[in-house]
Amino acid sequence: MITDSGQVKVPAHTLERAEAPGHMLTTTAARVLAVLRISTGFVFLWAFLDKTFGLGFSTPGERAWINGGSPTNGFLSHVEVGPLRSIAHDLAGLWWVDTLFMAGMGAVGVALIAGVGLRVAAGTGALIMVMMWAAEFPLDRFTAAGEASGSTNPIMDYHLIYAIALIVLALTYAGHTWGLGRLWARLPLVQKNRWMI
């Protein structure tokens, strides 16, 4: 049935028997995805702002990036589990690692909040999250010193949940609701390079 506004209205019982995926995203679901997109974007943007300016939450002012602090040193230098432990220690505090990490966090946050470039943001954000998961390596029950690692789940943790959420947001065009995704998708450059959607 087509409503006065031109939208197709599908009875709820039809959705329950749908044989294949299709145009079944409800307005409410699109809005919930928009809230998830904006909230997730704020997580990334807040981490960027706190580490850049030392807002006093996870980063005190004296360790802010603008004051010469390293956004990656605290995390990477304290990695005590997994096969990437020595690599993490070697990368901790390097200027180019700090720059790539901060550029990724800031860009992913802005893209998600604005609702643009979600495919690139999802790929970048998922990569950051998977690398952080690998650095914490929840599969290890014990640290290099033989102490309990504190891992509560050997496989799944919040880093992977964020990575999955980012992919879902990109695949569902979550930037089209309460974002600039539709306008972004119409740009000639984006039309020619669909990976930029």
CB 112 within 8 A of CB 169: yes
Is the pLDDT at 95 greater than 70? The verdict is yes
- Can you give the pLDDT at residue 18? 45
Rounded to 10 deg, the angle between the 95-114 and 27-53 helix axes is 150
**pLDDT of 39-65, one tens digit each?**
999 999 999 999 999 999 999 999 999
For position 7, what pLDDT does the model report? 59
Is the model's pTM score more than 0.75? yes
Predicted local confidence at residue 25, as pLDDT: 82
The domains of the chain are located at 28-196
pLDDT for residue 21 = 58
Q: Of 3, 46, 40, 42, which is closest to residue 172 (Cα–Cα)?
A: 40
Q: What is the 3-state secondary structure (H, E, C) of 18-85?
A: CCCCCCCCCHHHHHHHHHHHHHHHHHHHHHHHHHHHCCCCCCCHHHCHHHCCCCCHHHHCCCCCCCCH
197 neighbors 119 (Cβ within 8 angstroms): yes
* Closest by Cα among 177, 165, 170, 169 to 197: 170
Tell me which residue has tokens 């974002």.
179
Q: What is the pLDDT of residues 98-137, one digit of tens each?
A: 999 999 999 999 999 999 999 999 999 999 999 999 998 9
Q: Is 120 left (phi over 0), alpha (psi -120 to 50) or beta?
A: alpha
The CA-based dihedral angle spanning residues 153, 106, 172, 3, taken in that order and rounded to the nearest 10 degrees: 130
